[in-house]
């Protein structure tokens, strides 16, 4: 269930559709008077409002998106607080996710040229993120939406800054460290 109905207003935003509910957020299709277009409004869910501050993951996502500009990464239009609800304004996608597209295909497989093309676009986005110092930790077909058939990476709430001072520790299935150098 969503906390807002179609037609409700949150500041200068008008709710024009329901999109999805996340762990701590609700995604709506909104009409923005400022941008004069339909966008995705990502609002903190009422259960997670408190102390006049958005949850850390929400603030982190905002900070990351402000720094990014790449053709295969969702466009960020701004953020704010309206009616005590922190929100992010993101590009709206009418098309399906890569997951939805795969589910509709026989044997859930893309043709090889299409799979290569999708991999190249998503790989370009991930490479750009790494060059900007970020690690995308939730890469899956459901987080890749299509803009006129071109894969676009969305959902940046679990992106982390890469800390080059602390090398990553690889772990095996049973939790034992994996040896990364031969002796």
Active site residue 138: yes
Radius of gyration, CA atoms only, the chain: 19
Cα–Cα distance, 14 to 27 (Å, whole number)? 13
CB 15 within 8 A of CB 30: yes
Report the 10 Å Cβ neighbour count for 134. 18
Catalytic residue among 83, 100, 138, 163: 138
Residue with tokens 């900070």: 63
By C-alpha distance, which of 17, 14, 16, 20 is closest to 1? 20
> Which residues does the annotation mark as catalytic?
138
């Amino acid at each position: 269930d969503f906390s807002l109905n179609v037609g409700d207003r949150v500041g200068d935003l008008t709710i024009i559709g329901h999109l999805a509910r996340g762990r701590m957020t609700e995604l709506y299709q909104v009409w923005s008077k400022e941008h004069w277009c339909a966008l995705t409004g990502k609002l903190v869910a009422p259960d997670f409002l408190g102390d006049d501050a958005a949850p850390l993951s929400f603030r982190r996502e905002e900070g990351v998106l402000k720094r990014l500009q790449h053709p295969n990464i969702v466009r960020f239009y701004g953020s704010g607080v309206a009616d005590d609800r922190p929100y992010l304004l993101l590009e709206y996608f009418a098309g399906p996710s890569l997951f939805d597209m795969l589910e509709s295909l026989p044997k859930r497989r893309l043709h090889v040229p299409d799979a290569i093309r999708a991999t190249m676009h998503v790989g370009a986005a991930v490479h750009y993120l790494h060059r900007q110092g970020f690690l995308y930790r939730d890469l899956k077909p459901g987080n890749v939406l299509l803009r006129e058939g071109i894969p676009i990476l969305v959902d940046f709430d679990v992106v982390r800054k890469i800390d080059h001072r602390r090398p990553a520790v690889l772990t095996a299935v049973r939790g034992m460290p994996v040896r990364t150098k031969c002796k």
